[in-house]
């Protein structure tokens, strides 16, 4: 999905055609060559999922680079299995082979390798921004699991893609579903996007019960197995706000035409309603292996048997509910930040990351996450968003505001999905 600007956001493909045959990074027609893949955040949940997919598809892809934040033990196991020419560890100080690259710059190094065709960015949070920008400027396909990149700097991402000819293909199941439903149709034919939300572990909880929610409660997701940060985001519905902002930039659809509906079974991943009233939905078992594979192959498909066949009878019944926005205020805060634009999305994202980190450390209650986000947005609403430096300053200010409000020290940055 190319990130060319249209209607205030990034548009799929050239001339609105996702993965058009002439688009940079599109799979070679006839699959006549093996494509190199860099997996950033390879030891996180999305990274390990991607490596399972790549292990089955060695005839079509080779792992050219692996990076991790600090899990040197697992990274070394992965390096032995896939033997990439580039291995990077962001947080140095752990014992590791001498030829590994270290420091945050290893992410950009992996994303710009000549032998890499596809950069699968599974680094959590704003930390993944520079690698995405570098990959796009180098003409790579960026398979984006790092939604925060578009939330924090959607317009910078669009400019980087235009400058270097790179493209973005989403890994999130909701955005992958939309891409598969939209196909080559232009944004002018889309009436609405409807993103589904599982409702998380607290779907049936009262507001009073939510105030007593523990970390263990928040991490008990009913349908998906994900990293700790994104699982908490699912519990607060902040994750859905991030996904709406991402959809706005990916597909060029105004915010007032993007909606969220709760779907507890996580089988329908999104709906697209067209201007003639027709509605398409993408359906599948709740496994991230499916959108990961599609992000690698789009617009083509490869045979794969890693996920059990879909059984509509076993998946039934499928139900849908309205979002209880008043009980999950992080969603409304994120949507308002997206509509406000400027630095507001970056502030929302950074405040949320910091608040979730404090919650996971036991220093903040579940209910306080949304309060901390709202306070940061109110206090920092006038910050500039004119360039990368300004956005990173807004990010740092939001983290500091949340820490100060909670009475704690330095910032925390999650590293992998």
Q: 277-333 pLDDT, tens per residue?
A: 999 999 999 999 999 999 999 999 999 999 999 999 999 999 999 999 999 999 999
Burial label, 95 (beta-carbon count in 10 A; 0-12, 13-18, 19+): exposed
> Under a CB-based contact definition with an 8 Å cutoff, are residues 283 and 241 in contact?
no
Angle, CA 51 vertex, CA 48 and CA 57 arms, to 5°: 155
Q: 246-267 pLDDT, tens per residue?
A: 999 999 999 999 999 999 999 9
By C-alpha distance, which of 27, 25, 54 is closest to 292?
54
Instruction: Tell which wins on pLDDT, 3 or 283.
Output: 283
Q: 116-137 pLDDT, tens per residue?
A: 999 999 997 677 899 999 999 9
Q: 102-120 pLDDT, tens per residue?
A: 999 999 999 999 999 999 9
Which architecture characterizes domain 4-177 according to CATH?
3-Layer(aba) Sandwich (3.40)
Domain positions in the chain are: 4-177
Has residue 18 got a pLDDT over 90? no
Q: 147-196 pLDDT, tens per residue?
A: 888 999 999 999 999 999 999 999 999 999 999 999 989 999 999 999 99
pLDDT value of residue 410: 58
With bands split at pLDDT 50, 70 and 90, how would you rate the model's confidence at 6? very low
Helix (H) or strand (E) holding 46: helix 45-56
In sequence order, what DSSP letters do the residues of 275-317 get, joined into one string? TTS-EEEEE--S-THHHHHHHHHTTS-----SSPPP-HHHHPP
Burial label, 286 (beta-carbon count in 10 A; 0-12, 13-18, 19+): middle
With bands split at pLDDT 50, 70 and 90, how would you rate the model's confidence at 222? confident
By C-alpha distance, which of 150, 159, 143 is closest to 35?
143
């Amino acid at each position: 999905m190319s990130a060319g600007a249209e209607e205030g956001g990034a548009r799929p493909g050239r001339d609105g055609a996702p993965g058009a045959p002439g688009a940079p990074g599109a799979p070679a027609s006839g699959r006549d060559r093996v494509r190199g893949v860099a997996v950033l955040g390879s030891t996180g949940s999305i990274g390990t999922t991607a490596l399972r997919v790549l292990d089955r598809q060695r005839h079509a892809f080779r792992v050219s680079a692996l990076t991790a934040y600090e899990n040197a033990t697992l990274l070394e196991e992965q390096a032995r299995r896939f033997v990439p020419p580039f291995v990077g560890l962001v947080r140095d100080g752990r014992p590791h082979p001498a030829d590994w690259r270290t420091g945050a710059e290893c992410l950009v190094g992996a994303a710009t390798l000549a032998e890499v065709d596809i950069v699968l960015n599974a680094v959590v949070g704003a930390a993944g921004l520079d690698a995405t920008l570098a990959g796009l400027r180098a003409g790579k396909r960026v398979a984006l699991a790092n939604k925060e990149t578009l939330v924090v700097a959607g317009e910078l991402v669009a400019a980087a893609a235009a400058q270097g000819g790179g493209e973005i293909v989403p890994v999130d199941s909701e955005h992958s579903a939309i891409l598969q439903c939209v196909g080559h149709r232009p944004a002018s034919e889309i009436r609405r996007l409807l993103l589904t939300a599982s409702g998380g572990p607290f779907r049936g909880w009262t507001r009073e019960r939510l105030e007593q929610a523990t970390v263990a409660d928040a991490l008990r997701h009913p349908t998906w197995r994900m990293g700790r940060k994104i699982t908490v985001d699912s519990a607060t519905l902040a994750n859905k706000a991030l996904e709406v902002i991402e959809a706005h930039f990916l597909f060029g659809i105004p915010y007032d035409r993007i909606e969220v509906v709760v779907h507890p079974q996580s089988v329908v991943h999104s709906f697209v309603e067209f201007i003639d009233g027709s509605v398409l939905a993408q359906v599948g078992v709740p496994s991230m292996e499916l959108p990961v594979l599609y992000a690698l192959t789009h617009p083509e498909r490869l045979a794969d048997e890693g996920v059990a066949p879909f059984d509509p009878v076993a998946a039934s019944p499928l139900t849908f509910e309205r979002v209880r926005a008043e009980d999950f205020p992080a969603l409304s805060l994120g949507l308002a930040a997206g509509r406000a634009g400027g630095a507001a999305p970056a502030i929302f994202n950074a405040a949320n990351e910091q608040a979730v980190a404090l919650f996971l450390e036991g220093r903040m209650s579940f209910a306080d996450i949304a309060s901390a986000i709202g306070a940061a947005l109110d206090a920092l609403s006038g910050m500039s968003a004119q360039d990368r430096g300004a956005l990173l300053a807004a990010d740092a200010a939001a983290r500091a505001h949340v820490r100060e409000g909670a009475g704690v020290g330095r910032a925390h940055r999650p590293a992998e999905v």
